[in-house]
Structure 1
Amino acid sequence: MNSRDGKDLPGLDLDRLAAWLADARPDLLAGPLTARLIAGGRSNLTYEISDGSSAWIVRRPPLGHVLATAHDMSREYRVMTALADTDVPVPATYALCEDPEILGAPFYLMERVVGTPYRTAAELTAVGADRTRTISAGMVDALADLHTVDPADVGLADFGRPSGFLARQVHRWKKQLDASYSRDLPGAHELYDMLAAHQPPQSPDGIVHGDYRLDNVLVDSSDRVVAVIDWEMATLGDPLTDVALLLLYQRLGELGVTGVGDVAFAPGFLTETELLDRYAERSGRDLAHFGFYLGLAAFKLVAILEGIHYRFLQGQTVGSGFESVGAGVEPLLRTGIAALQENNR
């Protein structure tokens, strides 16, 4: 979707944006703005804007967001700004607007990074096994580099509450799952009880991305990871939760959730053992209790998928593909229980 005056794009008034930028960053714009919507929906809205010679990205909350959630924008902006001088590839940040009067919600402006967010095994298969191996290795290295950053060194010591992080995660996802029950899931009670009773000592505190997977990194034509994006879930906590969630995302296809999680099937993609070995070596983190983290990741995805399944049953979803989401819940529960029973990689 494209617009010359902003009126055709929901949530973006180009005249008001240009007027604000003329005051906040008068060095940026060299002409009238045009824009196109890159991503929309329930997540944050992403637009590409251009003055005819340069281009940038604008991020703002979904339409209808209330001011109380405006903190999301400042968190995304803050963590990327803080990571700018580290080994973690992030877009440059240019301006943050916390005044909802400009676009109806807080927003920020960042660099437009040219790169591909690979989403499917078919896309990777098309580039070949050697390149796929390079891409998947780069994805792991970027995550390990993130997890070696000391939050205090980049001004993020107060970015979250890492103490008690694992316990809060267990109870948070239990609460969310309780709100979405539409059927008997005995495995959910078993998995929760195991998670509550067998929490290991936390891995050393670090920056947690919160939603790390291959389509949340941009890869350039040389197969380098040039940007990690979508930081809306970022916080301080136990970084091994990122690693476990990444693995579970990649298993969703084989667990019966269609349309997602199949990148690991592409020839050349790192195996789980290769991925974990590479991560452990680069990050220096101990994966001895990784079974717990896999169990927690499974519980988190169960809560998310069961919520989607519940909304589908209530007629609250829009589009196709939702009818199969619930089929992945019980296999995920079995995966989580088995991981905790084995309590290893």
Structure 2
Amino acid sequence: MSIELNLKALAVWMQAAGEAVVGELTGIRVGQGQSNLTYRIDDEAGHAWIARRPPLGRLLASAHDVAREYQIMSALQESGVPVPTTIGVCTDPTVADVPVFVMAHVEGIVVDDEETAHSLTPDVRRRLGLDLARTLAKIHAVDIDAAGLGDLASRKPYAPRQLKRWSRQLEESRTQDRPDLDALTDLLRDTIPDSDEIALVHGDFHIRNVIIDESTGGIRAVLDWELSTLGDPLADMGSALAYWTQAGEMPDGMFAASALDGFPTRAEIAAEYLRASGRDGQALAFWHVLGVWKVAIIAEGVYRRVLDNPENAAGTTLTPENIQAMIDHGWDIARVNGLAP
């Protein structure tokens, strides 16, 4: 697969930014993320970096902002939240026709497929799942004003903002009519819980967006902050649960690795988060359904971009059936928790 960066020009920019680049750079696409494209960049002395750029083709407004992602991760460098060291954002048009965000490479593994999950012991899998919950609690404990993130986004009620934003994203990326997804949108609008807490929200927190220590399961870095905002922290927990597949669920879906033995259940992860954060989980079912709804819309957008340009596809093959399974899952959660008849 080709790399959509001019590496010679990037080396010049990195040296000007203070990086000790030795010799020529080489690059390879990494990860299965299908939003911003991610590359591992190596020099001839064995130094490594990560570069991220927006995907190819038509882009939705406000999406794929790597400069904003750089701002957030830079603000978190001393926060206690594990993030890679940020280098800068390159806007040199000779490097790429879009901004490119460069950060340090963090050693470890990303559990982005079942094969990688199988390489971990059941004990490590369990510790990874529980550390996800504890790490999310750390993100939500960040003093947003002290970190310089107080004006990152609106502080108005978060659920209406999310419903408005993602409904718009759906309209801009539809691949087909989905009346049951539209009905789920209406259900969420009718069941918004009361909430006045505002925290830093990662926006896309799941097992494939963290780098872990394969021997301990501990999280070394949290990645992919492009959807981060200010809002209700339970929204992040709801999204994390939405991505967390248990045995017997969505066997052909995008996030099946967590169904292996050893990984904690969604209930255990939620309980660990509530313990670590000190929060009440009364409204968590709503945010879980909204998380599944949002994942379905994100998947629809990914599928739209792949249809527009197959080069945006990565290691997984997303199908309309996968997206429908996500929508059905959202309705199941709503019914089990009394949000829908």
Asked whether the two chains share a fold, i.e. TM above 0.5, the reply is yes
2:291 is matched with: 297
Given that 2:157 and 2:196 are in contact with CA atoms closer than 8 Å, whether structure 1 keeps it comes out as no
2:275 is matched with: 281
Deviation at 1:323, TM superposition (A): 4.8
Identity of aligned residues (%): 33
Does residue 1:59 correspond to 2:52, yes or no? yes
Does residue 1:92 correspond to 2:89, yes or no? no
1:235 is matched with: 229
Change over 3 Å in CA distance of 1:36–1:303 after alignment to 2: closer
Given that 2:204 and 2:236 are in contact with CA atoms closer than 8 Å, whether structure 1 keeps it comes out as yes
Change over 3 Å in CA distance of 1:60–1:304 after alignment to 2: closer
After alignment, is 121-130 or 84-93 more displaced?
A: 121-130
After alignment, is 69-78 or 215-224 more displaced?
A: 69-78
Greater Rg over alpha carbons, structure: 1
Letter in 2 for 1:322: T
Distance (Å, rounded) in 1 between the aligned partners of 2:137 and 2:53 = 28
SS in structure 2 of the partner of residue 31 of structure 1: coil
Structure 1: which 5+ runs fail to align?
2-8
Letter in 1 for 2:22: A
Does residue 1:48 correspond to 2:36, yes or no? no
Given that 1:252 and 1:328 are in contact with CA atoms closer than 8 Å, whether structure 2 keeps it comes out as no
After alignment, is 101-110 or 138-147 more displaced?
A: 101-110
**Higher-RCO chain (CA-CA 8 Å, sequence separation at least 6):** 2
Does residue 1:144 correspond to 2:141, yes or no? no
2:210 is matched with: 217
After alignment, is 269-278 or 193-202 more displaced?
A: 193-202
SS in structure 2 of the partner of residue 127 of structure 1: coil
Does residue 1:208 correspond to 2:208, yes or no? no
Deviation at 1:10, TM superposition (A): 3.4
Does residue 1:38 correspond to 2:30, yes or no? yes
After alignment, is 35-44 or 282-291 more displaced?
A: 35-44
Deviation at 1:253, TM superposition (A): 7.7
Given that 2:35 and 2:302 are in contact with CA atoms closer than 8 Å, whether structure 1 keeps it comes out as no
Given that 2:211 and 2:222 are in contact with CA atoms closer than 8 Å, whether structure 1 keeps it comes out as yes
Distance (Å, rounded) in 1 between the aligned partners of 2:257 and 2:193 = 30
Letter in 2 for 1:289: A
Given that 1:146 and 1:207 are in contact with CA atoms closer than 8 Å, whether structure 2 keeps it comes out as yes
After alignment, is 166-175 or 224-233 more displaced?
A: 166-175
Aligned-residue CA RMSD (Å)? 3.1
Alignment of 1:136-285 (within 5 A): 136-178=129-171, 180=174, 182-183=176-177, 185=179, 187-202=180-195, 204-223=197-216, 224-251=218-245, 254-256=248-250, 258-285=252-279
Given that 1:140 and 1:278 are in contact with CA atoms closer than 8 Å, whether structure 2 keeps it comes out as yes
Letter in 2 for 1:52: E
Given that 1:41 and 1:62 are in contact with CA atoms closer than 8 Å, whether structure 2 keeps it comes out as no
Structure 2: which 5+ runs fail to align?
none
Given that 2:293 and 2:326 are in contact with CA atoms closer than 8 Å, whether structure 1 keeps it comes out as no
SS in structure 2 of the partner of residue 251 of structure 1: coil
Distance (Å, rounded) in 1 between the aligned partners of 2:63 and 2:170 = 25
Change over 3 Å in CA distance of 1:51–1:308 after alignment to 2: closer
Distance (Å, rounded) in 1 between the aligned partners of 2:195 and 2:285 = 13
Q: Deviations over 1:71-106 (max 9, x none)?
A: 711111111111111221110012222344442221
Deviation at 1:151, TM superposition (A): 1.0
Distance (Å, rounded) in 2 between the aligned partners of 1:307 and 1:263 = 22
1:83 is matched with: 76
Letter in 2 for 1:277: A
TM-score by length of 2: 0.85
Distance (Å, rounded) in 2 between the aligned partners of 1:168 and 1:29 = 43
Q: How many residues align?
A: 332
After alignment, is 76-85 or 169-178 more displaced?
A: 169-178
Given that 1:17 and 1:102 are in contact with CA atoms closer than 8 Å, whether structure 2 keeps it comes out as yes
2:321 is matched with: 324
Distance (Å, rounded) in 2 between the aligned partners of 1:38 and 1:125 = 19
Letter in 2 for 1:328: A
Given that 2:158 and 2:231 are in contact with CA atoms closer than 8 Å, whether structure 1 keeps it comes out as yes
Change over 3 Å in CA distance of 1:250–1:71 after alignment to 2: closer
Distance (Å, rounded) in 2 between the aligned partners of 1:59 and 1:274 = 33
1:334 is matched with: 331
